[in-house]
Amino acid sequence: MSRVLPTPVRGRLADDREILLFDTDTELGVDRRGLPLRPALPTTTVRRDPRTGDHVILAPARQERTYFPPRQMCPLCPDPEGLSSEIPAADYRVAVLENRFPSLDTPQVPYPADSQENSLRRERTGTGRCEVVCFSSDHDGSFAELPDDHARLMIDVWAQRTAELYSRDDIAEVFCFENRGTEIGVTLPHPHGQIYGYPFRTRRTRALLRTAAEYRAEHGADLFEALLAAEIADGTRVLVRTAHTTAFVPYAARWPVEVHILPNRHVRNLTELTDDEADDLARVYRTVLRAFDALYARPLPYIASWHQYRADAAEGYLHAELFSIRRSADKLKFLAGSESGRDAFVNDKTPETIAAELRAVL
Ligand SMILES: [Zn+2]
């Protein structure tokens, strides 16, 4: 039922990080930069907050990361000479590479077990995987402007990475995401996203799965299937509804712009979609992103966050959460006391208003 995923061309960069090119006719060249080799032992650690059980990643080496390089030094533009960029090739469609400044190191030594010596101080090596995903070689492009077949390729690239990373037993959660816009803190303007393979389940995922399990125990049904059916029946917050995909503003939206996108058929992750479903999801995803950019006079800063689970997980429904911190043409929402101190969001806009504003620019 599911489709064939693309096979990347694989190579190594000067410091032995892995690079993958997808759907390419271009040869991968040699990275001639004199980069120092990565340390053999991971430099990142994960500590568990003894009060909340949340994990905190400590990655001090990231302070050195690239910060707004001049355009001709863009590390994500292709460079056939292999002298100035992360991608030693004449061109590419989609490139994936291990992050040079990772929050989680890929283990080159046996994975150490979680230390149980002291229940208050639990620390382990921060192994996992951090990847940069370059959506296109066009420095000035954006995901919303990708042609149909290129956006579909991106869905397949995320699926291929998800399958490969979930096959690793030291990775508990695969998170594909895009931060777009300087207002979000993006330091490289070239269109790109990231993938984190965490060695633990994040708090948000634990909360989602716990709520879904509680709903199943109480109602004998899947939470997300019920939620999708309820949104469709109600209709006031639905933005796009196609044969295979539905996009809506969630009932309890936390952000001044927020849209969730679900496939109509219950799947756990992007690898399980059929060809038609993957094409449709790519179209709806870009439709929503284009509406985002049409809201105000300038491109909307946004975060796109994909929720995916292993195929045999007891709970979980593939979905994308897209949201923005922009609350008006000239104002941003900051995470202040209630949000940062208590994780209790205050939204100045009702979800129904957000849906009406987005529908007006669809
Ligand atoms: Zn670039």
Per-residue pLDDT of the chain in tens (362 residues, 90 and over written 9): 579 999 999 999 999 999 999 988 888 999 999 998 887 777 888 999 999 999 999 988 776 666 678 888 999 999 999 999 999 999 999 999 999 988 888 765 555 555 555 778 888 877 899 999 999 999 999 999 999 999 999 999 999 999 999 999 889 999 999 999 988 888 899 999 999 999 999 999 999 999 999 999 999 999 999 999 999 999 999 999 999 999 999 999 999 999 999 999 999 999 999 999 999 999 999 999 999 999 998 999 999 999 999 999 999 999 999 999 999 999 999 888 999 999 999 999 999 999 999 999 99
The DSSP-derived string for 287-312 is HHHHHHHHSSSSPPPEEEEEE---TT
Residues with CB under 5 A from ligand 1 (ion): 74, 76-77, 139, 190
Ligand 1 centroid–CA 295 distance in Å is 26
* Active-site option among 55, 150, 192, 307: 192
Q: How far is the CA of 190 from the centre of ligand 1 (A)?
A: 4
From the list 72, 273, 51, 297, the residue with the least C-alpha distance to 190 is 72
* 226 CA distance to ligand 1 middle (Å): 43
The b-or-e profile of 275-299 (16+ CB within 10 A means b, else e) is eebbbbbbbbbbbbbebbbebeeeb
Q: Strands 55-58 and 9-12, how do they pair?
A: unpaired
Residue 192 among the catalytic residues: yes
Helix (H, G, I), strand (E, B) or coil at 179: strand
What spacing in Å lies between the alpha carbon of 154 and ligand 1's midpoint? 18
- Give the tens place of pLDDT for each residue, 255-311: 999 999 999 999 999 999 999 999 999 999 999 999 999 999 899 999 999 999 999
- In the chain, the domains with their CATH numbers are 9-200 (3.30.428.10), 205-361 (3.30.428.10)
- Convert the pLDDT of each residue in 203-236 to its tens digit: 999 999 999 999 999 999 999 999 999 999 999 9
Q: Would you say 338 and 345 are in contact if contact means Cβ atoms under 8 Å apart?
A: yes
